[in-house]
Amino acid sequence: MLEEAMAFGLFMEAGLGRTVAARYRFARQWALGDRKNPVASTPALVLLDGDDDIDVQLAPFRSTTNQQIPATLTFESRLPLSPPNFLKPSPKWSVSIGHVLPPSLDEADAGEPAGTAQVLPVSWQRLNHDASLTDTSLNPDVVVLVDAVQLAAQPGKLVEAITILKRRFPGALLWTPGLGGPDNLAVLTWFGVDLFDLARSRQASAAGALLTEQGPRHLVESLGETADMDVQISHWKTAIASVRGALASDQMRSLADRQSLTSPRLVEHLRRHDILCQDIPGLLSSHVAADFTFPCHSVSIQSDPLITDWESFVTKEYKAPTGLDNILILLPCSARKPYRLSKSHGRFIRAIGTSACHEVMVTSPLGLVPRDLEEAWPAGHYDVPVTGDWTGDELSRIQRMFKSLVDRHKYQRIINHSGIEFSHESLEVTDTRLGDSAGSHEALERLTEAVKTAVDELSARGRKTEKILLDNFASIARKQMKSDAWVKDLKVRGKPPRYRLESGQTQMALWSIERSGFSLPKAVIPTLAELEALPKVHLKEGLPWKGDIFGSLVESFDESIRAGSDLLVFQAGVVIGLARAHAPAWEWPATPGRLAKSHQRL
pLDDT, tens digit (0-9, with 9 covering 90-100), for 76-126: 999 999 998 888 899 999 999 887 777 766 666 655 678 888 999 999 989
Whether the predicted pLDDT of 200 surpasses 70:
yes
Q: Does pTM surpass 0.85?
A: yes
At 110 the pLDDT is 56
Write down the pLDDT at residue 556. 96
Q: Which of 449, 473, 471 is nearest to 462 (CA)?
A: 471
String of DSSP letters for 280-313: -TT-S-S---TT--EE--SGGGGG-HHHHHHHHH
Q: Are 261 and 255 in contact (CB under 8 A)?
A: no
Which of these ranges, 52-56, 245-249, 317-321, 386-390, has the smallest mean pLDDT?
Answer: 386-390
pLDDT over 90 (residue 130): no
Q: What is the rounded CA–CA span in Å between residue 75 and residue 7?
A: 13
254 Cβ contact partners less than 8 Å away, ≥ 6 residues apart:
246, 295, 297
pLDDT computed for residue 102 by the predictor: 77
Q: Look at residues 175, 190, 185, 199 and name the one whose alpha carbon lies nearest to residue 236.
A: 185
Q: Is the Cβ–Cβ distance between 509 and 501 less than 8 Å?
A: yes
Q: Running DSSP on this structure, what letter comes out for residue 42?
A: S
The pLDDT assigned to 289 comes to 84
d(CA 584, CA 382): 21
The helix/strand/coil state of 365 is: coil
What is the per-residue pLDDT for 1?
Answer: 34
Residue 10 pLDDT > 70: no
For residue 8, count CB atoms less than 10 angstroms from its CB and return exposed for 0-12, middle for 13-18, buried for 19 or more. middle
**What does DSSP say about strands 44-47 and 195-196: parallel, antiparallel, or unpaired?**
parallel
**Which of these, 481, 169, 485, 529, lies nearest to 538 by C-alpha position?**
529
Sign of the C-alpha dihedral, residues 532, 535, 539, 544?
Answer: negative
Phi/psi-derived region of residue 33, left when phi > 0, alpha when psi is between -120 and 50, beta in every other case: left
pLDDT, one tens digit per residue, over 40-83 is 999 999 999 999 899 999 999 999 998 887 889 999 999 999 99
Strands (E), 286-412: 294-295, 327-332, 358-363, 367-370, 382-383
Asked whether residue 4 carries a pLDDT value surpassing 50, the answer given is: no
Report, in this order, helix, strand and coil percent for the chain, each rounded to 5. 35, 20, 45
The 10 Å Cβ neighbour count of residue 492 is 18
Asked if pLDDT for residue 11 goes beyond 60, the answer is no
pLDDT in the model for residue 6: 35
Quick one: pLDDT at residue 249? Answer: 87
Whether residue 490 is predicted with pLDDT greater than 90 in this model: the reply is yes
Angle at 119 between CA 282 and CA 4, to 5 degrees: 145
Section 418-431 average pLDDT: 93
Q: What is the tens place of the pLDDT at every residue in 326-379?
A: 999 999 999 899 999 999 999 999 999 999 999 999 998 999 999 999 999 999
Domains of the chain, with CATH numbers?
2-98+110-277 (no CATH), 294-458 (3.40.50.10630), 481-601 (3.10.400.20)
Whether the Cβ atoms of residue 473 and residue 511 lie closer than 8 Å to each other = yes
Alpha carbons 305 and 281: distance in angstroms, whole number: 11
Q: What is the pLDDT of residue 353?
A: 96
pLDDT at 112: 66
Q: Which of 108-122, 407-421, 496-510, 572-586 has the lowest mean pLDDT?
A: 108-122
Residue type for 586, please?
Answer: W
Beta carbons of 528 and 486 less than 8 angstroms apart: yes
Long-range contacts of range 553-557, CB-CB < 8 Å, 24 or more positions apart?
554/588, 554/589, 554/595, 557/585, 557/588, 557/589
**Per-residue pLDDT at 129:** 85
Kindly report, residue by residue over 301-318, the tens digit of the pLDDT.
788 899 999 999 999 999
Write down the mean pLDDT value for the chain.
Answer: 91
